Amino acid sequence: MSVLAEKPAWRPRLRFRGSLVVATLLLGLFLLAAAAPGWLAPYDPLAFDMTAILKPPSGLHPFGTDNFGRDILSRLIWAAHIDLAIALCTTVFPVIFGTVVGALVGYYAGWLDALFGRIVDLVVTFPFLVIVITIVSVLGPGLFNMFIAVSAVGWVFYARLMRAEVMTQKQADYASAGRVLGYGELRIIFRHLLPNAIGSIIVYWMTDMALGILLGSSLGYLGLGAQAPTAEWGVLVADGKNFLNTGWWISFFPGIAIVLTGLGFSLLGDSIADRLRRGR
C-alpha cells in the first residue's frame, strides 16, 4: 500500500512585506535608543546650557533645545527606555492573566462565563482612561501606580478575546480527539487550544503596547504619570506646552516619536496577523 506524491505545500507570496520592513526599522530605532542611550545621544540630557536656550533645530542640535538649553534629541533618546518599560509593564500582566482567565472561561463556560460577563459589563461601562486616572488619583501619581491601574482593568479585554477564540476552537474535532485520547482538560486547554487561539491575542497586544505608550504619555502630560525628574515622551511633550509658539520643537519631536513608535507596533501587529492567517 503506498501513497504517491503528496500534495505539495502551498508557498504563499509575502505580501505586506513593506510594512514589516518599516515596522522593523521604527521599532529597531526605538529599541536601540532604549538599550544604548549613552552611545546614541549626542549630549547629556540633564545638562543645562544657558547659552543655547530655545534654539530651533540646527546642525548642532538636530531637534533644537528647550528653555534650559537641554538638547531635545538627547532627552528623547534617554526617555525611550522609560517608554519601553511603559509599553511592556502596562501589557504583560493583562496578557498573561487575561489569556489564562479567558481560556478557562471560554472552555468551561457555565456560571464562570456568566460571572465573567458581568465583570466585562462593569469594566466596559466606564471609559478606560477615566478608570485609570481615578485609580492613579487614589493611589498617587507615578509610573508604578499607573501600571497597577492599567493592569487591574486591562486584562479584561484580553480575557474577552481569548474567551471568544477558545469557544470557537473547542468546537473543532481535534479538541474532541484530545478528550477521546484521554487528555485532561487543562492539557487540552493550554497545550492544544491555546496555541490556536493566541494569534489574535498577540496582534491585540502589539496595538495595546502602542496604546500603552500613549496612555503613559497622556498621564504624563497630566502630571499623573512619570514624575520629575524621570522623563518620558509624554512628559517631554508637556514640558513644551508653554512654548508652543516660541519653541514648537520641544513638544513636536517627542510627539512624533510617540506616533512613529505606535505605528511601528501597529505594523508589526499587522504583519503577525497576516502571517498567522496564512498559516492556517
8 binds other proteins (CB under 8 A): yes
Beta bridge partners of 65: 71
Which of these, 213, 274, 263, lies nearest to 24 by C-alpha position? Answer: 263
Tell me the per-residue interface mask from 93 to 132 with other proteins, x by CB under 8 A, - otherwise: ----------------------------------------
- Restricting to residues 54-73, which ones interact with other proteins according to CB under 8 A? none
Residues near other proteins (CB under 8 A), total: 25
Alpha carbon distance 195, 268 (integer Å): 19
28 near other proteins, rule: CB under 8 A: no
176 binds other proteins (CB under 8 A): yes
| DSSP state letters, 17-85 | HHHHHHHHHHHHHHHHHHH-HHHH-SS-TT---GGGTTPPS-SSSTT-B-TT--BHHHHHHHHHHHHHH
Q: How many CA atoms lie within 13 A of 36 on its CB side?
A: 5
Q: Cell numbers 542640535 label which residue?
A: 61
The piece of 5-13, 52-60, 80-88, 232-240 that touches other proteins (CB under 8 A) is 5-13
Neighbours of 202 (CB within 10 A): 14
The grid cell for 275 is 502571517
Q: Which of 38, 59, 110, 279 binds other proteins (CB under 8 A)?
A: 279
- Span near other proteins by CB under 8 A; candidates 85-93, 124-132, 178-186, 221-229: 178-186
**Residue 183, interface with other proteins (CB under 8 A)?**
yes
| Rounded Cα distance, 233 and 243, in Å | 16
Which one among 39, 121, 228, 280 touches other proteins, defined by CB under 8 A? 280
The pattern of x and - marking residues 195 through 214 that bind other proteins according to CB under 8 A reads xx------------------
| Interface residue with other proteins, options 31, 148, 179, 273 (CB under 8 A) | 179
State the residues that interact with other proteins by CB under 8 A: 1-9, 171-174, 176-177, 179-183, 192, 195-196, 279-280
